[in-house]
Every structure is written in structure tokens, then in C-alpha cells.
Amino acid sequence: MVFETFTSCAHVKKWWGPRTWPLSACTMDLRPGGVWNYCLRGPKGEEAWGKAVYSEIARPERIVYTDYFSDKDGNTAQNMPVSVITTRFEAKGRKTLLTSTAIYGTLEALEQVLAMGVVAGINETFDRLDEYLAKMQKDGETKETTPPPLVNTRVFDAPRDLVWEAWTKPKQMAKWWGPNGFTNPVFEMDVRPGGAILIHMKNPRDGSEYPVTGAFLEVVRPERLVFTHCAWDNELLNTVTFSETHGKTTMRLEVALTKSSGWNAQAMEGAKMGFTQSFERLAALLAEVRNG
């Protein structure tokens, strides 16, 4: 939820900047190489334009960009400080530790922005973010509805029995489960109705591990799997069906949000991204198995 407040102009316009210098203009292309242009407007109509060029977007853990002073057309201001900003988001139960680090090329550049009042400005900005998050949570408790199920259908160039094994054998599933780059040092499954699931997903960037728990509700070999998985205070119900035609397998996954942390749309968006990348990895694994 905290990460999402950094990812669109609709969000940052609500909290970015000191109280007397709110954000008045914003365009954002959130991707490595993308640019965020913004303007802070002072109490007398003064304008301070900035440009950020993203170098890393690691959802939901880290955003890295180079921050410049600029004009309204995005041209970099000369002889003004340049910094590399790394913002980290670390889950602490139902709270989030946010750490923002700014690296300047010279001591003179750092002294310049300190003299401009950057510390007070950042403190006010994060106070406003705290207030905005509180409002979002309050509104979410009363307004947010359960999103529709996510449906993903994929055809694999492999027989159904092979795809079924990739879903039900822990050593195989551990090779493809999770977003790109993630590994699963712990992957335990008891594939039967009532059987438990325990996974520890490891982030390749910093080595942190995220526990995933769940249970199987239905196991109908080789046609249907129904199981839950819980992560980041969300519980998802997954229904997977498998059908075969001419040696190829059509897999259909339906994901429904059954228990929520209160930020439903983002939970489903995260699931969509994770499963999309996982299925690319699954396709590669199936090709490797078929080719021996």
C-alpha cells in the first residue's frame, strides 16, 4: 500500500511536497528509464520544477531514481545539485518501514540542498504521506469492494500429465513459482485435500525471504487443483484446471481474493504480475523437461 502511493500522479499529488509547497503539476512514466516530471508551487505562486529518471523499480520493495532540478519542459538545470534517491519499503507486520537515501556527488552539493531546507521539507512531505495513508485505509474500510476474480488462461506445448507434475511435485514447482529472479529455498506441499503448503520466497536483490502458507481443498488428478495461499496479509483462493488437445495443455487459473489487508486492487494486481512471470518460467521448465 505504501509502495503504491509512489507509483502514480494521482497518488503523489495528494502528499508530495511540504505543506506550503504542494505538487501542482505531474507526469510519470514508472519504469526503468522512465521520467517523472513535477512542479512544487509556493505560497506566492513560485514554481520549483524537478525531473526524476528511474533506474530501478522493484515492486513492492524499492524505487531508485536520479533527481534533477529542471524547468517546466524537463530540461536539466545547470549548476544545481543532482542526487540518486533510493526509497526502500520494508514490511514490519502491518506497518511499513520506509527509508529514503539521497546520495550527492559532492559535499558542496549536499551543503547546498541542506541550506535550501531539504530536511524540513522531507519531514513535512512524509507527515503528509502518513496522513494520506491513514485516510486511504479509513476510506478503504468503508468503500472498497472485493475485486472480481483474476483469470489467466495459458496453452503449454506439453501433455497434461507433464503440466500436472510441474504443479504437484515440490521440486519442480519450486523452480518456477514466483516472480522473475525469486527462488524458493523452502517449498513443501502435501498434495491432498487438507494438505498444507509452506513456501519461503527469496528476493534475489537483498536475500530477504517472504513466507507463503496455504492448503489444498481439492485435488483431482490430472484435471483440477484448488488451493489457498496467504502472503502479505492477503488470502487467495486458486482454482487451476487442465485440459489436453493434440498433446498441448490448456491451463486455466482463477484467483479470488478471500481475505484482504484492506488494499484489494493492489493485492490482485500483485497476483497478476506474479503469476504472469511465474507462467513464463513454467513454460521454460516444461520445454527443458520435454527436450531432456
Predicted pLDDT of residue 252: 96
Question: Quick one: 17 and 49 in the same domain?
Answer: yes
Q: How far apart are CA 47 and CA 71, in angstroms?
A: 9
Question: Quick one: 126 and 256 in the same domain?
Answer: no
Predicted pLDDT of residue 72: 87
C-alpha dihedral sign at 266, 37, 23, 69: positive
Hey, is 15 helix, strand or coil?
coil
CATH at 214:
3.30.530.20
pLDDT tens-digit profile, the chain (292 residues): 899 899 888 899 999 999 999 999 999 988 889 999 999 999 888 999 999 999 999 888 999 999 999 998 889 988 899 999 999 999 887 789 999 999 999 999 999 999 999 999 999 999 999 999 998 877 764 445 567 888 999 999 999 999 999 999 999 999 999 989 999 999 999 999 999 999 999 988 878 888 899 999 999 999 999 999 887 677 889 999 999 999 999 999 999 888 765 555 666 777 888 899 999 999 999 999 888 7
For residue 266, give the nearest of 171, 172, 144, 154 by alpha carbon: 144
Question: Quick one: 119 and 237 in the same domain?
Answer: no
Of 143, 177, 194, the position where a domain reaches its end is 143
Q: How far apart are CA 13 and CA 1, in angstroms?
A: 16
Domain that holds residue 210: 150-290
Predicted pLDDT of residue 142: 43
Starting at the edge strand found earlier in the chain, the sheet holding 248-259 runs 150-156, 248-259, 234-245, 224-231, 209-220, 196-202, 183-189
Predicted pLDDT of residue 145: 57
Q: Which residue, chain included where needed, has cell 519461503?
A: 200
Question: Quick one: 133 and 198 in the same domain?
Answer: no
Question: Quick one: 29 and 134 in the same domain?
Answer: yes
Question: Quick one: 137 and 7 in the same domain?
Answer: yes
Here the cell at position 184 is 524458493
Predicted pLDDT of residue 263: 54
Are 5 and 132 in contact by the 8 Å Cβ rule? The answer is yes
Number of domains forming the structure of the chain: 2
Here the cell at position 189 is 506441499
Question: Quick one: 101 and 183 in the same domain?
Answer: no
**Neighbour count for residue 194 (Cβ, 10 Å):** 9
Question: Quick one: 169 and 272 in the same domain?
Answer: yes
Question: Quick one: 244 and 173 in the same domain?
Answer: yes
Question: Quick one: 201 and 255 in the same domain?
Answer: yes
Of 143, 161, 193, the position where a domain reaches its end is 143
Here the cell at position 177 is 513459482
Beta strands in 19-94 (DSSP E): 23-28, 35-41, 47-58, 62-70, 83-92
Are 182 and 168 in contact by the 8 Å Cβ rule? The answer is no
Question: Quick one: 14 and 132 in the same domain?
Answer: yes
Of 78, 111, 143, the position where a domain reaches its end is 143
Q: CB-based contacts of 34: which residues, under 8 Å, 6+ apart?
A: 28, 53, 54
Question: Quick one: 16 and 135 in the same domain?
Answer: yes
**pTM here?**
0.54
